[in-house]
Chains A and B, each alone.
Chain A
Amino acid sequence: MEMLSIACVALAVMTLLAVAGAWVYRKEWRRTKKLFDIGLQLNATIKRKDLLQVIMETASRTMRAEGSSIILQDETTGELYFEVATGGNDEQIKEIRLKPGEGVAGWVAKTGESVLITDAQKDERWSNRVSAKVKVPTRSLLCVPVMSNGKTLGVLQVINKKGGKPFNKRDLTLLEMIASPTAVALENMFLYEALLDSMQSLRETTVIKEKMESELKIARGIQYSFLPGHDLYMRKTSLHASLVPAREVGGDFYHFIELDERRLLLCLGDVSDKGMPSALFMSAIMIWIQAKASAASSPARILEEINREISQEYSTMFATLFMAILDTETGHLRYCDAGHCPPFVLGKGQVRMLETAKHLPIGIFADEQYEERDIHLQQGESLVLYTDGITEAENAEGEWFTTAKLNQVLAEHADAQPSEVIEVLRNQVFAFADGHPQSDDIAVLVAKYGEMSGL
């Protein structure tokens, strides 16, 4: 009998334990499921406005609270801030900022510890400022830090448990559990916002860059519209010219003008700078050449007049320039050298440097006097004008093409047609640079006297 009663008691205890176990298990399972659901809900959106709303709704519902707030920490100032609806139908949102450490939220963010307040009115940490602003009379509240990798993202707060009772320690534990998926969701939100920010700034930078590039492109277009073309055939003379611009807007230029039925003006030069200023200066020079060429009788007088127009007292912008007038019938060449690279004369398998009277570049002193020299080009001889974009073309080792190499290439093609000379020269320079970016414009002009086989 006693045995039976012991067995009964044991059975009862075991049943009770089983029931209790099942209850505990079910409760644990419910809790796990609840947290799992919360995780899902919080991951449903990544956009700030929606996410903050979801967090607050989830916290309120799960905690059976009258209200909740998610308060974020400003990384730079350490201030806490949150948004509250100002009421009415216009859905206006107002941002409230708390000083670091202010109120319960500030305390939680600062210490990283959770807070349970059963009677807010009696707790000195409660900030009236917040209470007044959110317009909800606060009886009890829970506030937990929302942290990710040791960094405080903000705090999660619920107020006034429904049904009149204050929050208890078990509620606090539950809210702490909610804080963890909240942190993950907020981190995702911040990453998303950072991504949006960088996409936006990339978009803006691209717009600015494209605008600048298109302006430079337009400037270059205007600049090169002053160039006269590439070829000219006049009596016994054929001419070819080429300009290969560097990536940056440069200041190389050439010009040729038929002055009358026999005389041809040739010139080629280089402005002392790069970029927009040199492009403008070059354009001005091109216009002045056009304006002064027809009236003036000789290269030296033309240069003097242009120089007088463009020289300014305190400007250091200048252009080196070689200008010549060729009689296309007789080969008589009058020329003037304003500080430019020495031209070459080719013909009969030979190449020689043209002797010049050196003068200052144009644009330096308005009263500079220029004098000219003259020669007779023989049948089949060519005059080669170029800029230092050729002689100073660089390869990856930092070596230059050099005047010596230019001389050599020209000697090998001393009797070629102008377009052929230029093509060979360009190819040789590019082969030498071997992909190293071209830092300066390259301009070349070749005028060949005495044959018209180019036609």
Chain B
Amino acid sequence: MEITIEEQSDIRIIRLTGRLDGTTMKQLEEHIVQLVDQGCNKFVFDYRNLEYISSAGLRVMLLSVKITRSSNGKVALFGMQDNVAEVFEMSGFFRIFEVFQTEEEAVAYLVS
């Protein structure tokens, strides 16, 4: 799993490449906790290169929502592949995430 983080004013764009599962979730969790500690609460997740997400992966995503909620933060996702979208669909996670087609839309949602 490869994670790169880009700054765009007060937004952090987190780009994920590979599989987000029980073995890689810890990596992402550390990044998120660190960013929140630095005072960030607006995250865009770039899912274009995310090949797979397990229920353990969903837990980290849930963490990003729970951890930013208390400070009125926002989380947006974009570029989801079909099999990842299926997991979000099946687990009902679409209900707690704002999911967009493009990066521009996702960023625009956080700015609004």
Chain A residues close to B by CB (< 8 Å) = 270, 272-274, 313-314, 316-318, 320, 337-342, 358-361, 364-365, 388
Question: Are B55 and A358 closer than 8 Å at their CB atoms?
Answer: no
Number of A-B contacts (CB under 8 A): 51
Q: Quick one: closest B residue to A388, CB to CB?
A: B55
Question: Are A320 and B59 closer than 8 Å at their CB atoms?
Answer: no
Whole-angstrom distance between the alpha carbons of A338 and B95 in the complex?
Answer: 12
B interface: dominant SS = helix
Chain B residues close to A by CB (< 8 Å) = 22, 55-56, 58-60, 62-63, 66-67, 89-96
Q: Quick one: closest A residue to B29, CB to CB?
A: A316
Question: Are B66 and A272 closer than 8 Å at their CB atoms?
Answer: no
A interface: dominant SS = loop
Whole-angstrom distance between the alpha carbons of A274 and B22 in the complex?
Answer: 9
What's the nearest-Cβ distance from chain B to residue A386, in Å? Answer: 12
Q: Quick one: closest A residue to B57, CB to CB?
A: A272
Question: Are B90 and A273 closer than 8 Å at their CB atoms?
Answer: no
Question: Are A359 and B22 closer than 8 Å at their CB atoms?
Answer: no
Given A272-B58, A316-B60, A360:B92 Cβ within 8 A:
yes
Known: A314-B67, A340-B90. 10 other contacts (CB 8 A): A313-B66, A316-B59, A316-B60, A316-B66, A339-B93, A358-B92, A359-B92, A360-B91, A360-B95, A361-B92
Cβ contacts A to B, 22 pairs, < 8 Å: A270-B55, A272-B56, A273-B22, A273-B56, A273-B59, A274-B22, A314-B66, A316-B62, A316-B63, A318-B62, A320-B55, A340-B90, A358-B89, A358-B94, A358-B95, A359-B95, A360-B91, A360-B92, A361-B91, A361-B92, A364-B96, A365-B96
On chain A, the residues within 8 Å of B55 by CB distance are 270, 272-273, 320, 388
On chain A, the residues within 8 Å of B22 by CB distance are 273-274
Q: Quick one: closest A residue to B92, CB to CB?
A: A339
Whole-angstrom distance between the alpha carbons of A353 and B72 in the complex?
Answer: 39
On chain B, the residues within 8 Å of A320 by CB distance are 55, 91
On chain B, the residues within 8 Å of A361 by CB distance are 91-92
Whole-angstrom distance between the alpha carbons of A320 and B92 in the complex?
Answer: 9
Whole-angstrom distance between the alpha carbons of A274 and B56 in the complex?
Answer: 9
Question: Are A318 and B89 closer than 8 Å at their CB atoms?
Answer: no
What's the nearest-Cβ distance from chain B to residue A358, in Å? Answer: 5
What's the nearest-Cβ distance from chain A to residue B57, in Å? Answer: 10
What's the nearest-Cβ distance from chain A to residue B98, in Å? Answer: 15
Whole-angstrom distance between the alpha carbons of A237 and B93 in the complex?
Answer: 34
Question: Are B96 and A339 closer than 8 Å at their CB atoms?
Answer: no
Whole-angstrom distance between the alpha carbons of A340 and B62 in the complex?
Answer: 16
What's the nearest-Cβ distance from chain A to residue B20, in Å? Answer: 13
Whole-angstrom distance between the alpha carbons of A273 and B22 in the complex?
Answer: 8
Whole-angstrom distance between the alpha carbons of A134 and B63 in the complex?
Answer: 69
What's the nearest-Cβ distance from chain B to residue A127, in Å? Answer: 56
On chain A, the residues within 8 Å of B66 by CB distance are 313-314, 316
What's the nearest-Cβ distance from chain A to residue B22, in Å? Answer: 7
What's the nearest-Cβ distance from chain A to residue B31, in Å? Answer: 15
On chain A, the residues within 8 Å of B89 by CB distance are 358
What's the nearest-Cβ distance from chain A to residue B6, in Å? Answer: 25
On chain A, the residues within 8 Å of B56 by CB distance are 272-273
Interface centre among B60, B62, B66, B95 (most CB of A within 10 A): B62
Whole-angstrom distance between the alpha carbons of A317 and B62 in the complex?
Answer: 9
Interface centre among B55, B56, B90 (most CB of A within 10 A): B55
Whole-angstrom distance between the alpha carbons of A341 and B22 in the complex?
Answer: 19
Whole-angstrom distance between the alpha carbons of A338 and B58 in the complex?
Answer: 14
Closest 4 CB pairs of A and B: A339-B92, A339-B91, A272-B55, A316-B59
